[in-house]
């Protein structure tokens, strides 16, 4: 049961993604409402059948002062679709500082990219232009909604109405 469930805040804004058992528990304990369920699958106990949640909405509003995507190695890989941004391979991936730290480059969404060990070694302590290497995609910081929609893996059709809304710029 590796399926995921979209969790909405009380105002129907996307909040997070959780596992099916966690979502079922929230609905069962009356801490959330079932907004959408799977058309094809059900949850079964010995004596009962329950709808498998696809989207749930929390009863109480949860205030999030900052809804950003954490800067982690795996999130950079997800953003870059697990491909080297120089040669497009998906073998031996590592992180590369586009502008090297020794030249003032920071460890940030806008300066980190996915690179294979071969390209990272070839680029060395130089900017891509100095090494005659071209980035396939300029590094960027994904928004929370964009990350849920595009980088969290397979999403359900029932999630789309809640992820298509424009995200507020903070």
At 29 the pLDDT is 96
pTM value is: 0.69
Distance CA 167, CA 170 (A): 9
At 151 the pLDDT is 66
Q: Would you give per-residue pLDDT tens digits along the chain (170 residues)?
A: 578 899 999 999 888 889 999 999 999 999 999 999 998 899 999 999 999 999 999 999 998 777 778 899 999 999 999 999 999 999 999 999 999 999 999 999 999 999 999 999 999 999 999 999 999 999 999 888 777 777 666 678 888 888 875 444 43
At 170 the pLDDT is 36
Bridge partner residues of 50 (DSSP): 43
Distance CA 8, CA 21 (A): 16
At 16 the pLDDT is 86
Q: Judging by DSSP bridges, how do beta strands 4-8 and 112-116 pair with one another? A: unpaired
**Domains defined along the chain, listed by start:** 4-66+143-163 (no CATH), 73-123 (1.10.30.50)
Q: ∠ CA 12-16-22 to the nearest 5 degrees? A: 105
Chain centroid, CA 29 distance in Å: 27
3-state secondary structure 64-126: CCCCCCCCCHHHHHHHCCCCCCCCCCCCCEEEEECCCHHHCCCCCCCCEEEEEHHHHHHHCCC
Q: Which two tokens stand for residue 42?
A: 């059900």
Output Rg (C-alpha) for the chain, integer angstroms: 20
């Amino acid at each position: 049961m590796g399926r995921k469930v979209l969790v909405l805040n009380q105002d129907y804004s996307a909040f997070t993604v959780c596992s099916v058992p966690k979502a079922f528990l929230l609905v069962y304990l009356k801490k959330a409402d079932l907004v959408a369920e799977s058309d094809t699958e059900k949850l079964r106990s010995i004596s009962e059948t329950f709808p498998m949640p696809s989207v749930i909405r929390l009863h109480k509003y949860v205030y999030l002062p900052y809804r950003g995507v954490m800067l982690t190695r795996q999130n950079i890989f997800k953003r870059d679709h697990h491909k080297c941004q120089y040669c497009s391979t998906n073998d031996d991936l590592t992180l590369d500082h586009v502008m090297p730290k020794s030249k003032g480059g920071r460890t940030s969404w806008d300066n980190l990219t996915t690179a294979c060990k071969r390209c990272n070694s070839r680029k060395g302590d130089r900017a891509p232009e100095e090494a005659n290497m071209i980035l396939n995609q300029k590094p960027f910081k994904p928004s929370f909604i964009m990350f849920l929609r595009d980088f969290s893996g397979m999403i359900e059709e029932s999630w789309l109405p809640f992820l298509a809304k424009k995200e507020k710029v903070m």
